[in-house]
Structure 1
Amino acid sequence: MARLILFNKPYGVLSQFTDRGTETARATLSDYVDVPRVYPAGRLDRDSEGLLLLTDDGKLQARIADPKHKMAKTYLVQVEGEPDEASLERLQKGVRLKDGVTRPAEAERIAEPDLWPRDPPIRVRKTVPDSWLRLTIREGRNRQVRRMTAAVGFPTLRLVRWRVGDWTVDGIPPGEWRDADG
C-alpha cells in the first residue's frame, strides 16, 4: 500500500533531501522527515511554507505533481497592498506571464488567517498596507503564485500552501508531518 506523508514545510527549507547547491548547508527535508524511500510529489519554493506531500508511490507522485491532472492547489497569500475587484478578476481569468497566460484561478480576499508565526517575520512597511488572498490554481509553473500577484500589482510577502487536492496542512505545526488518512 502506498504511503503518503503530509509535511508542513517551514520557510527556508528546500523541497529535497540533499543540498548540493551551495557551500553553506541549507535545511532540507532530511532535517525533518526520517522516512526511507519517500519523495516529494511536486515542489514548494524555499521561501514558501506549508503543505508538501511525500510518497513512496511513483504513480501517485506523478498524479499529484503532473499539471495534466489539474489537481487544485490552494494558497494563502499575504500581498503588499489591497487588491480591488478588477485585480481579482484578472487572477480569475488568467494572467499573462512571460511564459504565457495562466489557467483561470479561484481568487478572493480573506481576513488574516490564524497561522503560525513565520521565522523570520516578513518585512513590513508602515506606509504600505497588506492583505490576504486565497488563491487556487490547477497548474504548477515555477514561482507561479508570486508571479501572478506581482503581475496584477500586488507583490507576495508570504506564501503558504494550504491544500493540495483533498489534503490539507490544517492542524500540522511547521516542521511536523503525519501520514495521510486512508
Structure 2
Amino acid sequence: MSAGARDWYAHLGARGVAREVAAYAAAEVSPRLAALEFERLERTRAAPHERFEVDWSAARRTITASMEIEAGQRMDLLFKLPPAFPLLAVSAECVRRLGASPQQVRRWLLGIEAFLRASRKSVADAVVSWRDNLDAKFEGLEDCLICYSILQPATGALPKKECRTCRKRFHGGCLFKWFNTSGQSTCPHCQSIW
C-alpha cells in the first residue's frame, strides 16, 4: 500500500490539494500506520538474535537497529518515519558504520530505501534484511592476529591485508605498526617475507 500511496501522492497536480492530503495523512492515517510498524517491530524483537537489537520511539517516529559486530563495537541504522507517512518515504541513515566502507553502507542504504519504496514490505522487513546482510558480511571473519580483534580498535576497519603464504588477514594499521616495531617486513603469523 505504501508504494501505491506515494506514487499517487507524487502525481497529484494541485499544490493545495497535496498539502491537504498530506495534512490529513499526518493527522489520521500516519499514526495508525506507524503503530502497525511498531507492532511488526515488536514481533521482530520477539525473535531473539544474540547480537541484534531494535528499538524505537513512537514520539520521535524513529527506529534504531543495532548490530554488535564484536564486544563493544556496534553498527547502528536509524529509520525516520515522516509525518505524512506513507505518502512520503521512510528515510534510513547509518549512524555508526564500523567495519563497512562508506560505499558498502551507501549500497545498503540505497537497497533499503529501494526495498521500502518499491515493495509492500514493512520497516521491520527492511530491518531484518539489513541484519541478514550484516550477518553475511561478517560471517567467517577471523581476528587480526596482531590486535586480536575483527574491527581495528582505532578505526573500526576490517582486516583486509592478506599474507600470500598463510592467507591470514591483518588490519593495515596493525601491520604498519608491526613492521615499524619489529624492524622487518615479515608476516606476524608465518614469518614469511611480506
Same fold (TM over 0.5): no
Shorter-normalised TM range = under 0.3
Normalised to the residue count of structure 1, the TM-score between the two structures is 0.23
The higher radius of gyration belongs to 2
Structure number having the greater helix percentage = 2
